[in-house]
């Protein structure tokens, strides 16, 4: 982490910064909190980069959700378009079973 001439793109391409934003690594969180304490002049840049990360993450999540929804709709359309072929004699069995049930009752 070079504090001089660091930009948002640099932060967003840094895996430890991404882990810091996602809060997925206690080691990276500690690293970035220490960095911010030692480099308070970078606080604004880090906050801006974190905000950009959140926006990008949300856009990707929405895009992924939309893609999964489209795939699910395609699968459902295939299922709905499959014709249902009745099994010969199945209606007779139903009526026999119902008749037998009613007879017992």
Residue-wise pLDDT tens digits, 74-87:
888 777 666 666 66
Contacts of 14 (CB under 8 A, 6+ apart): 1
CA angle 31/46/37 to nearest 5° reads: 45
Between residues 7 and 102, which one has the greater pLDDT? Answer: 7
Cα Rg, the chain, nearest whole Å: 30
Single pTM value for the model? 0.56
Proportion of the chain in helix, strand, coil states, percent, rounded to 5: 80, 0, 20
How many angstroms separate the first and last alpha carbons of the chain?
A: 81
Contact 65, 31 (CB under 8 A): no
- The pLDDT confidence band at residue 34, using thresholds 50, 70 and 90, is very high
From the number of C-beta atoms within 10 Å of its C-beta (0-12, 13-18, 19+), residue 21 rates as: buried
User: What tens digit of pLDDT does each residue of 84-105 get?
Assistant: 666 665 555 556 667 676 777 6
């Amino acid at each position: 982490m070079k504090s001089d001439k660091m930009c948002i793109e640099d932060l967003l391409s840094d895996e430890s910064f991404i882990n810091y934003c996602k809060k997925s690594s206690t080691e990276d969180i500690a690293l970035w909190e220490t960095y911010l304490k030692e480099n308070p002049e970078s606080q604004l840049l880090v906050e801006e980069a974190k905000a950009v990360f959140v926006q990008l993450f949300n856009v990707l999540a929405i895009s992924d959700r939309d893609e999964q929804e489209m795939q699910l709709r395609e699968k459902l359309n295939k299922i709905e378009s499959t014709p249902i072929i009745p099994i010969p004699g199945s209606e007779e069995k139903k009526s026999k079973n119902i008749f037998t049930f009613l007879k017992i009752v």
